Amino acid sequence: MYFPTLLSLFINPFYFGRKGLYKNIKDLASNITGKTLDVGCGLKPYQQLYHSSEYIGLEYDTPENRESKNADYFYDGTTFPFEKSSFDSVVVNEVFEHVFNPNNFLQQINEVLKKDGILFMTMPFAWDEHEQPFDYARYTSFGISSILKKHGFEIITQRKSVSDIRVIFQQLNLYIFKKLRTRNGFLNQIIILFLISPFNILGEILNLILPNNPDLYLDNIVLARKV
């Protein structure tokens, strides 16, 4: 799911989003070095791409997260359980939209990062609500840049992932998948193969001939430095 291949065209309803994230994370992964904190780490899907000497996962403390996530530490949602200036880099992949108090969250990241430490964030822009009811915000490229600068970060690189016609096909596929998904895994794969994969293929073809639209995109990608 996280590392799209040719097969993913036919079996992944989130194909365009996952492909865009993977490409951008892989492109910028060499900036993540030293002792790294992955906030909201989940299954740590991108750990192997980074150049970290030590990799620590942090998750919000719930019974479900303790059972299903690969975190090394859990916290109360307010205070990170680490000393100040203890990390060289922090990654926050597809988590920031679930943070109800972004100011406190970024303050915590700033405190645990060393001076000149690197923060790498990805977050959705043109996506439907997910993991309800814990989906609180969407940030424009200007919004995320502004809030990071406010909390002591300098933007190094900022990208818009999948800023082309594939945004429309990803939204269409999400609609189909959510409305037709069943409890039967095999039936779901049939739905994806016959109703969703044609739009994956068509989106890839049209992307070759139609212009980009930087005002509409799937995800924000931000690399920043603590100043």
Q: Across the chain, how many H-helices and E-strands are there?
A: 8, 7
Q: What is the pLDDT of residue 124?
A: 98
Residue 69: DSSP 8-state = -
Q: What is the pLDDT of residue 167?
A: 98
Quickly tell me which residue has 């822009």 as its tokens.
125
Judged by DSSP in three states, 179 sits in helix
- The alpha-helical segments, DSSP class H, found in 61-154 are 63-68, 102-112, 141-150
Judged by DSSP in three states, 156 sits in strand
Domain boundaries, the chain: 18-163+215-226
Q: Is 177 exposed, middle or buried (0-12, 13-18, 19+ CB in 10 A)?
A: middle
Q: pTM for this one?
A: 0.95
**What string of pLDDT tens digits covers the 227 residues of the chain?**
889 999 999 999 999 999 999 999 999 999 999 999 999 999 999 999 999 999 999 999 999 999 999 999 999 999 999 999 999 999 999 999 999 999 999 999 999 999 999 999 999 999 999 999 999 999 999 999 999 999 999 999 999 999 999 999 999 999 999 999 999 999 999 999 999 999 999 999 999 999 999 999 999 999 999 99
Q: Are the beta carbons of 8 and 20 closer than 8 angstroms?
A: no
Q: What is the pLDDT of residue 1?
A: 80
Residue 118: DSSP 8-state = E
Quickly tell me which residue has 């990208």 as its tokens.
159
Distance CA 69, CA 66 (A): 6
* CATH number among 3.40.50.150, 3.20.20.210, 3.40.50.720, 3.20.20.120, domain 18-163+215-226: 3.40.50.150
